[in-house]
Amino acid sequence: MFEIRWHSRAGQGAVTGAKGLAEVVSTTGKFVQAFAFYGSAKRGAAMTAYNRVSDKRIINHEKFMSPEYVLIIDPALIHTADFTANAKENTKYIITSHLNKEDLVKSQPKLEGKEVYVVDCMSIAMDTIGRAIPNTPMLGALMKISGMYEIDFFKESMLNVLRKFPQKIIDANMAAIQRAYDEVN
């Protein structure tokens, strides 16, 4: 079993990203959960979404989680959200930022000594999809860091997840996933 927590703003697609990941994982025969904390959060409010992935059927419905991966898809949330909550010693952080890793850690001392990866999902989303929806690029970055799936297999699976969209949007998402995969470090 491994667990992922997404930090996002409502409207940036963390729930869609978590569900997209779950769909891909499910096609490989593994078991998944994707959920979020809602409340009456409005567009732009900070929120969290979650994934569980396991080889066995998941019957744990507690919301509490001590994640292996923390994915931050809004650049400002490292300054306001409690993104290290309930983390493990070796939790990996993949953070959307235009800063390089050194400057990022300087700007947020909580990241000192943590396993941090940086990728500018926001710019990638704007360049490729044309909207500030940084969810699919974050999945590309996660594939690189976690090694969950080969990137080609993942992209092929995402084609199926995105099949309802026009070809232009699908192509843009594929480009975004690949760029984040190549650029995360």
Per CB under 8 A, residues contacting another protein are 18-19, 22-23, 26-27, 31-36, 38-40, 58-64
Task: Kindly tell me which of 78 and 162 has the beta carbon lying closer to another protein.
Answer: 162
For the CB of residue 108, give the shortest distance to another protein in the complex, in Å.
Answer: 27
For the CB of residue 182, give the shortest distance to another protein in the complex, in Å.
Answer: 28
Residues 6+ apart with CB under 8 A from 8: 14, 46, 47, 48, 49, 72, 73, 74, 77, 135
For the CB of residue 7, give the shortest distance to another protein in the complex, in Å.
Answer: 18
For the CB of residue 12, give the shortest distance to another protein in the complex, in Å.
Answer: 17
What does the CA dihedral 83, 74, 177, 91 come to, rounded to 10 degrees? -10
Conformation bin of residue 146: beta by default, left when phi > 0, alpha when psi is -120 to 50: alpha
CA atoms lying within 13 Å on the CB side of residue 164: 2
